[in-house]
């Protein structure tokens, strides 16, 4: 089912992202930069590995993982996390854990767009992407 997510996606809208970043502990300067970026996500598969590349004018990052297997992740804002990604029905769900905190990203395809719902401590942000 990951195949539905594969491709190149460009951010087209973002709601409550600054509040979400604040809730996970991202500093003011990085939040300001992140708020104006329109990153491109490139999702692909190589065997049982899923590769997610994020490209922007501020910073590029890449993670590679197998579904259901915990991996170490350094996020673009510098957090050192233990992450796990699973398929939950038709949603791709990532849980990041660090310093006693936890955040969840849930991606799904709706009306040809990829919609990401980011949740932590009751704060929710929604980011929508269109195929590039």
In the chain, where the domains are located: 2-131
pTM (global) more than 0.95:
no
Q: Determine what percent of the chain is predicted with pLDDT higher than 70.
A: 100
- Reported as type and span, the H/E element at residue 74 is strand 71-74
| CATH topology for the 2-131 domain | Lipocalin (2.40.128)
Model pLDDT, residue 107 = 98
The mean predicted confidence, pLDDT, of the chain is 96
List pLDDT tens digits, range 63-83.
Answer: 999 999 999 999 988 899 999
Buried b (16+ CB within 10 A) or exposed e, 97-119: ebeeeebebebbbeeeebbbbbb
Residue from 36, 38, 35 nearest 18 by CA = 35
Model pLDDT, residue 57 = 87
């Amino acid at each position: 089912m990951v195949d539905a997510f594969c491709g190149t996606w460009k951010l087209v809208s973002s709601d409550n992202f600054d509040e979400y970043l604040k809730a996970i502990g991202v500093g003011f300067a990085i939040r300001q930069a992140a708020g104006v970026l329109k990153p491109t996500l490139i999702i692909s598969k190589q065997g049982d590995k899923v590769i997610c590349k994020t490209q922007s004018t501020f910073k590029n990052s890449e993670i590679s993982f197998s579904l259901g297997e915990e991996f170490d992740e350094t996020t673009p804002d510098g957090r050192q996390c233990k992450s796990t990604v699973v398929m939950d029905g038709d949603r791709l769900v990532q849980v990041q854990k660090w310093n006693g905190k936890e955040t969840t990203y849930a991606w799904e395809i709706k009306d040809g767009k990829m919609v990401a719902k980011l949740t932590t401590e009751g704060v929710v942000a929604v980011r929508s992407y269109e195929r590039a």
